[in-house]
Structure 1
Amino acid sequence: MTTKEVIIIGGGLSGIMAARTLFENGVEDVLIVEKSRSVGGRLATRRIGEGKADHGAQFFTVRSGELQQDVDKWLEARWVKRWFGNPYPRYTSTGGMNDLAKQLAETIPVKLNTKVSAIRDGRDGLLEIELESGETILTNHCIVTAPVPQALSLLPGMTEPQVSTISFAPCFVGMFTFNGSSCIPSPGHTDENLPDGVERVVDHHKKGISQSVTVSVYMTGEWAKKNEMLEDDGILTEIQRVAEHYLTEGSEIATAELKRWRYAEAETVMRSPFVEVGTSKRIIICGDAFLRVDDEAGRTRFESAYLSGISAGERVACKG
């Protein structure tokens, strides 16, 4: 049976930053367990034909000194670029947002395509992480970065009551390839004068990550909640009507795909970067819905996930 000092459940930005923070503090016996085939979570990029489309986070902003220090390094390494926004820049990854996640996780041990089914107190003061495959991993500390509803399902009876009040809105994203150009203005992003129910529209060719013209259309959480019972084909048909507004004369939509995000953005948040649970308080729940007390934005975003992961990693590191 495998034993690790720290198991991190979820390979999104919070999990990656928690692991990097542990490494920086001398805790290297760390493993990220991720149910998907790639790290990144909502730092998600999909290949569509000859092109690419970001279909999770499109960009991020910076308010904290910690993130700014890292962004300066990422800019120098050409992992990210300033996309648009003045005086408050929106940064994006130069190769798609998932590329940034992979670069950040490059040196971290990750077990992909692996789903956790339960977390419980085990023998000799260790925690037992049970996988759906039947395998069990023992660990001294566990950091859970999965969306709160999923985290709660792994920790029956262990969590603080206030954690269960966190709720998430879904999001639907339509991804389309055009056989010609789009009329989305440079630099390829618009969130103004959009039809009802639409949050933003992005042209990834103009964004600079796709050789061909790929367009993502994001619907609002309110629209997604109203329509989440529809079949995929019905949802995609509605979103495609929006995409068609951005065709130039002679262009057509060549392909269409849908991404459903069940837990896209927290509607309620915790004013704490993490919560410790379990009988020995050696399980930490964190993620983008867990905000530092001094967070001025007050909402989930790239930076809140980043800071929450760092705080969780520091907390585990100081426990030794």
Structure 2
Amino acid sequence: MSTAIIGAGPCGLVAGRLLQAAGEPVVLFDKGRGFGGRMATRRHASGCFDHGVPGFRMNDAGWNATLARWHQCDVCAPVELGGIQHWTGVGGMSAIGRWLARPLEVRRATHVAAVSSEGELWDAQHQSLGHFDRVVITAPAPQAAELADRAAPDCIASLRQVHYAPCWTLMVGLRRPPKAVGAVPQPLAQVIRETTKPGRGHTGECWVAHADSAWSTAHLEASADWVQSILWDAFQGIVGMGHRDAMHVATHRWRYARVTRPLEGPGYLASPQAPIFFAGDYCLGDGVECAFRSAEAVAAAVLTTTGRFPQGDTAIPK
């Protein structure tokens, strides 16, 4: 008996930890080279940039207690963003994903292209990646629908109800701190000074700026060079600095940055025709907290089919 999890983002990693703690053999697959999905950190000689999720809030008391234990392990720490306390990874948001992945078997840089109704996975070259008793797909809903359109057709209509907003992100490494920081103009929605985050004392003067959803949607397919020029011009106006002050300027496009229309339900989808489950923040709302809660819900559902029982979040901090 074994379970495959497609996606090593926050939902996939937490679900994997919970299943493994209950005695369920688990293998995770992710097409990327890192862990954590949008809880990502880009590193450069000028420093590191949390170019995905800058930080996240938790309203659930149980999860805040868990994060406090993670804080004791020097994995995450509280940080103030926009005057509100958030959680962030120590030394980079990706620290959380790397730590969650430590005890798990994660096959990185492995693109799962198709899933069968019997639980077999194939890559883009039509090579089998193995047969599993259950498959949990934690990719964004449009990608999940494409993966399982033949294996779990009964779930596709629900997955296609989910809507997302994209986000273009600008990363800037400066040679010196700005003397003053002005108001954030459009098309930027948020500007974050990475250097003030926990564990970043050794890095340079690093900033991340996120474009607003409407602008990112309108220019989703624009060239990265053009987007960079527009966002860089806006950022220069905030800090009053120019090209000579920049050590590094880069952009990244997140096609599925924020869930704008989630599903309503128990926190996961399960196909009645195949041993396939779907989970992710979109099952409950948007953001890391919803991803973690969806992971709990889908792990409990999977364990119900195995006769095992959840062990609670006590397995997560170890």
Instruction: Say whether the fold is shared (TM-score over 0.5).
Output: yes
* Shift, 1:106, TM fit: 0.7
Match of residue 195 from structure 1: 185
Aligned partners of 1:184 and 1:145: how far apart in 2?
42
Code of the aligned partner of 2:59: R
* CA distance, structure 2, for counterparts of residue 170 and residue 83 of structure 1: 25
Shift of 1:237: 0.2
1:205 pairs with one of 178, 195, 203:
195
Contact (CA 8 Å) 1:177, 1:213: kept in 2 or not? yes
Q: Secondary structure at the match of 2:132?
A: strand
Q: Summarize the Cα distance change of 1:184–1:159 in structure 2 as closer, same or farther, 3 Å threshold.
A: farther
d(CA) in 1 for partners of 2:282, 2:179: 35
Report the 3-state secondary structure (helix = DSSP H, G, I; strand = E; otherwise coil) of the residue aligned with 1:62. coil
Contact 2:184 2:238 in 1 (8 A): no
Partner of 2:69: 73
| SS of corresponding position for 1:264 | strand
**Is the contact made by 1:80 and 1:100 (CA closer than 8 Å) also made in structure 2?**
yes
The correspondence for 2:21, drawn from 20, 24, 33, is 24
1:34 is matched with 30
Q: Cα deviation per residue 1:111-160 (whole Å; 9 max; x = unaligned)?
A: 000001111123xxxx1111224123100110000001101111114242
2:270 is matched with 276
Contact 2:136 2:278 in 1 (8 A): yes
Deviations for 1:7-59, whole angstroms, at most 9, x for unmatched residues? 000000000011011022221x1000000001110010001214100000111
In structure 2, give the amino acid aligned to 1:235.
V
* 8 Å Cα contact 1:128/1:139 also seen in 2: yes
How far apart, CA to CA, are the structure 1 residues paired with 2:269 and 2:301? 10
For 1:223 and 1:148, the matched residues in 2 are separated by 22
Give TM-score, length-normalised by structure 1: 0.88
The aligned counterpart of 1:119 is: 115
Number of residues of Structure 1 aligned to a counterpart in Structure 2: 298
Q: Within 5 Å, which residues of 2 pair with 1:147-186?
A: 147-157=140-150, 158-160=153-155, 161-183=157-179
Tell me, yes or no, if the aligned pair for 1:181 and 1:248 is still in contact at 8 Å.
Answer: no
Partners of 1:288 and 1:141 lie apart in 2 by 20
Give the TM-score normalised by structure 2.
0.88
Instruction: Write the distance in 1 (CA, Å) between the matches of 2:219 and 2:46.
Output: 31
Aligned-partner Cα distance in 1 for 2:270–2:106: 23
Q: What amino acid sits opposite 1:300 in the alignment? A: D
Q: Give the whole-Å Cα distance in 2 for the aligned partners of 1:147 and 1:49.
A: 31
Cα separation, partners in 2 of 1:317 and 1:181, compared to 1, 3 Å = same
Partner of residue 212 from structure 2, selected from 205, 220, 245: 220
Which runs of 5 or more structure 2 residues have no equivalent in the other structure?
A: 307-318
Q: Does 1:267 align with 2:260?
A: yes
1:233 counterpart = 2:225: yes
Moved beyond 6 Å, runs of 4+? none
Q: How far off is 1:193 after superposition? A: 4.3
Identity %: 22
SS across alignment from 2:232: helix
Gaps of 5+ in 1: 186-191, 292-298
- Specify the SS of the correspondent of 2:261: coil
Q: 1:15 is matched with which residue?
A: 12
1:49 to 45, 50, 53: 45
Residue of structure 1 in register with 2:298 after alignment: 312
CA distance in structure 2 between the partners assigned to 1:50 and 1:178 by the alignment: 8
Q: What pairs up with 1:128-143 in 2 under 5 angstroms?
A: 128-133=120-125, 134-143=127-136
Q: How far apart are 1:228 and its partner, in Å? A: 1.7
Letter in 2 for 1:149: P
Alignment of 1:95 onto 2:95:
no
